[in-house]
Amino acid sequence: MGAMNFQSILDEIHAELRPRLGQGGQVARYIPALARVSPHQFGIALRTCAGEVAQAGDSAVPFSIQSMSKVFSLTLAIRAQGEALWQRIGREPSGSPFNSLVQLETERGIPRNPFINAGAIAVADRLVSLGDGKAELLALLARLCGETIGIDDEVARSEAETGFRNTALANFMKGFGTLDNDVATVLDVYFNQCAIAMSCEQMACAAGYLCRDGRHPLAGAPVLSEAQTRRVNALMLTCGTYDAAGEFAFRIGLPCKSGVGGGIVAVVPDQLTLCVWSPALDETGNSWLGRQALELFVAKTGLSVF
């Protein structure tokens, strides 16, 4: 592992895949501010447990992290609530699209996992109850990557204006008693967390506690306990890429979390965290090129949890 030259591996992946930009996938259309993002962008960055960094392409360009934020909101909620969190949120893969409403009815308002939209909205409700809204999330991310992190207000507005399905999910859960707080307040946290902007380099650093048994990527102090970190990684592997999670485990074999901004963060426990970004999505809402980049990374390095 020490002998691996990560910079040349990322350069190779970038050179091999860049010509495919524009050949597949589509940018997310249902959020107007995301529909305007150029699909001709591709970045990749990693940071090892030893602090070595490597990057290629548009790795310093901030993008909308969208559902990748769900890892960090879950981290805050687990930290504050521990086991009690699981009384309101399940841990099973959904096998359904990220914005699906169907299982909520049969499961009496308990979302299947924290990474589908319903689950993340339930986590946002917990954060509101704890007084930990968007400011706390931004503060966590800034501490994790040592840089100021902001929200793209245009994306946040666009989400709020067109978030009919998320509003439906929140109201439906409220009807079952899953949410304690006012629906509009909870959705405000959710829409804003999705609109956080970060680069691949920042994300690869911020997620670093997930490959370090929960220790802070820069300071070493615990962000989560070892056991809690294992659980977040397990949820990323089984639920982090929605109804493509089985295929991701099969082809890539790493805990991953994607977002409809086109980013995917992946964890190689005890070794490194990696972030890829390219805005065009496949039909499951995962980055079309990002997925290929992760497959190639695993093929070239042999790194996998299996």
190 is catalytic: yes
**Helix/strand number for the chain, H first, E second:** 13, 8
Quick one: DSSP state of residue 211?
A: G
Mutual angle of helices 117-129 and 183-194, in 10-degree steps: 110
67: contact with ligand GLN by CB under 6 A: yes
Catalytic residue among 59, 64, 67, 158: 67
Residues composing the chain? 306
259: contact with ligand GLN by CB under 6 A: yes
SS3 of residue 115 by DSSP: coil
Residue nearest to ligand GLN (CB): 67
Catalytic residue among 64, 70, 73, 257: 70
- Binding marks (x or -) toward ligand GLN, 139..178, rule CB under 6 A? --------------------x------x------------
Residues 70-99 that bind ligand GLN (CB under 6 A): 98-99
Whole-number CA gyration radius for the chain: 18
- Which residues on adjacent β-strands are paired with residue 256? 266
Amino acid at 274: L
Shortest Å distance, C-beta 158 to ligand GLN: 10
- Where in the chain does DSSP place strands (E)? 43-48, 53-57, 63-64, 150-151, 196-198, 256-258, 263-268, 272-277
258 is catalytic: no
Among 111, 255, 285, 290, binds ligand GLN (CB under 6 A): 285
260: contact with ligand GLN by CB under 6 A: yes
66: contact with ligand GLN by CB under 6 A: yes
Please list, residue by residue across 167-183, b when 16 or more beta carbons sit within 10 angstroms of its beta carbon and e when fewer do: bebbebbbeeebbebeb
Residues 191-210 that bind ligand GLN (CB under 6 A): 194
Which residues are at the interface with ligand GLN (CB under 6 A)?
A: 66-67, 98-99, 117, 159, 166, 194, 259-260, 285
For the annotated binding site for substrate, the residues are: 67, 117, 159, 166, 190, 242, 260
* Residues forming the active site: 67, 70, 190, 242, 260
